Amino acid sequence: MAGAAARPPSIVERGKSPSVRACADCHLINGLGRPDSSSLAGLPAGYIAHQIDDFRRGVRTSGDARLDTMAPIANALDDRDVAEASAYFASIKPRPWLRVVERQPRPDGEAIVELLDGRHGYVAFVPSGSVRRGEFLVEGGGGGRTVRCANCHGSDLRGTSQIPSIAGRSPTYIARQLNDMRHGLRRGLGADRMMGTVTRLTDDDVVAMAAYAASLAP
């Protein structure tokens, strides 16, 4: 429970019978998450609640069917569950949970590989040169290919009271969200505004942007 301002509520720690798993099962009790789930630590409570509503309305989905599991959970939550979980995760101060290492891509073609790194979260292996290329895209807009991420996510990319932080987050997760928005699978709060910024991105651009953002301090 490191970093939490209060004891986790029941919905986070134990879930709700019969159909709601504990939030901590996927997002962890420290809110820092795994590559197949979002880090929720320190996100604005209102933003978290809006995302749950987007899942309920079916406007936030994923291209990876194995991970498209939040809709039934969101629909089984009541307003108190949402408020308690959102407030809890918002109260946790983000801390470093991964380190980024550049290397040649694996023969199987996986551009980003994240592995457990003992008690310190994850190590994310990304393609050689991707962090520098990602900086060009994220910080400068890639010569018009996209726009500066700081325009919405703040000068340090740690978000605002309404916009989520992207600094220090799982590159696997960031890449998946960019791709879901590129393909129209993620809509709703904020995502619709992202459409124009992601349409010209290539697969390599997405990997590079995710690698750079992940390399920053959360």
Domain boundaries, the chain: 10-90, 98-215
> Quick check: pTM over 0.85?
yes
Class of domain 98-215: mainly alpha
Q: How many CB atoms lie within 10 A of CB 90?
A: 19
Q: What pLDDT does 192 receive?
A: 87
Q: What is the mean pLDDT of the chain?
A: 92
Q: Do domains 10-90 and 98-215 have the same CATH topology?
A: yes
Above 50 in pLDDT, residue 3? Answer: no
Distance CA 171, CA 210 (A): 5
d(CA 195, CA 181): 6
Tokens of 194: 């992202």
Contact 89, 31 (CB under 8 A): yes
Quick check: 119 pLDDT over 80?
no
CATH number of 10-90: 1.10.760.10
**E-only strand ranges, the chain:** 98-103, 113-116, 122-127
